[in-house]
Structure 1
Amino acid sequence: MRPRPSLAEAFDPRGNALDVLRLALAVVVALTHATLLGFGWQPVWGSAYLGDLAVDGFFVLSGFLVARSYLRLGSLRRYAWHRFLRIMPGFWVCLLLVAGVVAPLAALLSGRPATSVLTGEDTALSYVTSNALLRINQLGVDGVGNPADAGDPSLDGSLWSLFYEALCYGAVAALGVLGLLHRRRWVLAALCALLWAATIAGAAGVDVGSPLVLRLLFVFLLGSAAFLFAERVPVSTALAGASLVLVAAGLHLLPDHRALAGPAFAYLLLWAVVRLPLRPRLRWDLSYGLYVYHWPVYLLLSLAGAGVLGVPAFTALGLLIAAAAATASWLLVEAPALRAKDAAWVQFPLPRATALTARLRPGAGRRKTPRS
């Protein structure tokens, strides 16, 4: 019997489903927010919103990629600079557009003057300044809200997760500086076990602090641990099927499926990375732009009364407009910013990467057995 390949053997940096999966997860988040903003409900699977599951999937994949990035770059400054360029330029431009374009249009569609967003306690200007450091301290502007949910004033309710993503980037950097990504990988495994235990305790009603930090750090570090232990993670369709059963059971039996199936959920995502047949390297990475722009698009459509089109037409129209915004964001903001990632001033040598990193570098991690 042919031995099962490991994740290290099956993962090809130049041929995997990461781009497709991230775009698909962004689409899932967009579609769940379409029903929320247009009709006041979100699709669920058991105890979780589908959008929350998609966000968790983003964090698993990010954890895998970011751990790889830290070890591959071999420089704390380069790592921090790359992470900054991937999030902040697109985020800042989005903030400016939401405050300068979306907020006035939303005011007009709400029957108020466009200039009304400049007055009051929460203004369009304070929306930018309060949120500029990535933590969303001001959700919207006075007098503008979601007509399908009067209690939600968010102009862009997707941006909240970026702050937690940055916190997870910092966690990987801290582990790297302490040498826990290069050596003593067992510490990360122990940390994941501790977070899993805390998740189980939280599901049992124990106060474990911030449930959001616990949730996102747990799934992110599961992705990072999968990279560090990739040579020990088997790629098995049977294990993927069992993982899917565990995830479904957790979603229907527990208030937090991660208490039962956190590692299973992460395994399922990473199995899909190396086993899905669609593995194109997309020249335009629209996942980030689609994620940050779909909410304001659907908000404006809802305020304009486009909900009368019905769920399929409303979601399709908004997705088309959001995809156009994501394309503009990639071509005009994100891609130009990423071209600065190799700036010479960010060079700062760190300890050499482990053999694991070399094994997963382009051209080094290909399987010796045919793909099934």
Structure 2
Amino acid sequence: MNAHYRAFGGFRFALALTVVLSHTWFLTFSERNFIQDIGIGNFAVMGFFVLSGYIISEAVDAFYANRAGAFTANRLLRLVPPYWAAAVVSIAVHWTVTRYGTLKLPDYETPPEVMFSARNFLVQITAIIPVFNFNQFLPRIEWYYFVRFAWAIFVEFVFYFSIAICISLWPIAKRFVSLRTYLAICAMGAIAVHGVNEFVHHLHTSFAFIPYFVLGASLYWATSKRERLAWAIAGACYLLIAFHFTRYTQGQLSAYADWWSGMRKPVVLVPTVIMLAIPLIMLWLSEIELTDRSKLTDSALGDLTYPVYLNHYAVLVAIYSFVAVRSVAAQIAAIVVSLVLSWLLHQAIEAPMSSLRDRLRGKSLIKSGKAPASQIKLGATAP
């Protein structure tokens, strides 16, 4: 099958800008305020997880059935080289500021001693890859990550590896169950792992975010295959997300003491409502038909999403270190420079690899400013 073009590019770009805004408010405000307290970056990142569940499910359905190796290779090519480039740029920024100025970090009073050590550099190479990383073999100390917000990419990889396992096991499972049943078992098994992690015994931090990915995946199967069971799973995940978001990523509410009273506080209620609106917006966008020109624009905005997320921390460190006075201008400068740097790195790193990724996928994506969008039916979300 061919994947339908989904108008997610501009939305993903808006979520990425929301993350950048969340991390740069302190360049404008010297004291905490309501805008900072609601943590707009939290629902943006969680929204990415829901989108990822939808997008990857469609990609697997269209291109990677029985091709776990190709799927994993494509995901590695998509995420790892841009991350390495961002890490190199960030290291260069940190070193330059240290050499010619005074390094100031948003979340450290003084720069960590391990920052420029050989072992800390080694950690950067595989920091976003679960299980197969150098962190497993080095002392368990607080390493400094030059791509500071890369934890979300690590969580994404946990999801990708889980999908690869499901793809690999399907040839065996199909001897006993239908695809519908198999997908339901995978989804409910993932939710069960989340439940154990949250309420029985902590297994791994990344498992807290399982309902976000399963919600996205369930929404794809529910809308594309008209599956009632998928709608039921999506509904269960929707409720789990509402509960999780208030407990862990926003209000830090207790599940056992006056949860409802805390939920009604504006600092918790506002971002939670926005978080719960994101899947609904996503469903609406998935059905929008864009013109060929709009598809190219949407695709171009989507292309910037990942590099913006990766590279804005290095820019933030540079601005924070060299600009003495907080102002709106400093925050705007951080955003603008992040966008320019991200576009340059996208052109230098990601664009040249597109043909290789196309061969792994077996189909071309829309290329901004290149092939007419009408000739390509795949979405702008780079599966």
Q: Same fold (TM over 0.5)?
A: yes
Other-structure match for 1:300: 318
Opposite residue 42 of structure 2, the aligned amino acid is: D
Deviation larger for 61-70 or 290-299:
61-70
Query: Shift of the alpha carbon at 1:347?
Result: 8.7
Which of 205, 220, 225 does residue 218 from structure 2 map onto?
225
Given the two structures, how large is their TM-score scaled by the length of structure 1? 0.67
Query: Shift of the alpha carbon at 1:164?
Result: 1.4
Query: Shift of the alpha carbon at 1:159?
Result: 1.5
Q: 1:328 to 1:250 in 2, by over 3 A?
A: closer
Which of 180, 185, 193 does residue 180 from structure 2 map onto?
185
1:331 partnered with 2:347: yes
Which of 11, 20, 23 does residue 13 from structure 2 map onto?
23
Q: 1:90 to 1:223 in 2, by over 3 A?
A: same
Q: Structure 1, residues 66-108: CA drift from partner, whole Å, max 9, x if none? A: 1222222232232122111110110111111212333332453
Other-structure match for 1:64: 54
Is there any run of 5+ residues in structure 2 with no aligned partner, and where? 105-111, 136-141, 229-234, 256-262, 363-375
C-alpha contact (below 8 Å) 1:78/1:341 kept by paired residues:
no
C-alpha contact (below 8 Å) 2:197/2:208 kept by paired residues:
no
Other-structure match for 1:79: 71
Query: Shift of the alpha carbon at 1:227?
Result: 1.8
Query: Shift of the alpha carbon at 1:17?
Result: 2.5
- 1-structure distance, mates of 2:103, 2:217: 49
Q: 1:32 to 1:121 in 2, by over 3 A?
A: closer
- 2-structure distance, mates of 1:262, 1:67: 24
- 2-structure distance, mates of 1:189, 1:319: 42
Q: Structure 1, residues 107-135: CA drift from partner, whole Å, max 9, x if none? A: 533179xxxxxx96441644431121133
Query: Shift of the alpha carbon at 1:35?
Result: 2.1
Query: Shift of the alpha carbon at 1:314?
Result: 2.4
Query: Shift of the alpha carbon at 1:325?
Result: 0.7
Other-structure match for 2:43: 53
Q: 1:41 to 1:323 in 2, by over 3 A?
A: farther
User: How many aligned residue pairs are there?
Assistant: 312
Query: Shift of the alpha carbon at 1:228?
Result: 2.5
- 1-structure distance, mates of 2:214, 2:312: 27
Q: Percent identity?
A: 20
Q: Which has the higher helix share?
A: 2
Q: 1:316 to 1:277 in 2, by over 3 A?
A: farther
Opposite residue 280 of structure 2, the aligned amino acid is: L
1:88 partnered with 2:80: yes
Which of 280, 301, 308 does residue 268 from structure 1 map onto?
280
Opposite residue 224 of structure 1, the aligned amino acid is: A
RMSD (Å), alpha carbons: 4.7
Is there any run of 5+ residues in structure 1 with no aligned partner, and where? 1-10, 113-118, 140-150, 235-239, 349-361, 366-372
Q: 1:152 to 1:323 in 2, by over 3 A?
A: farther
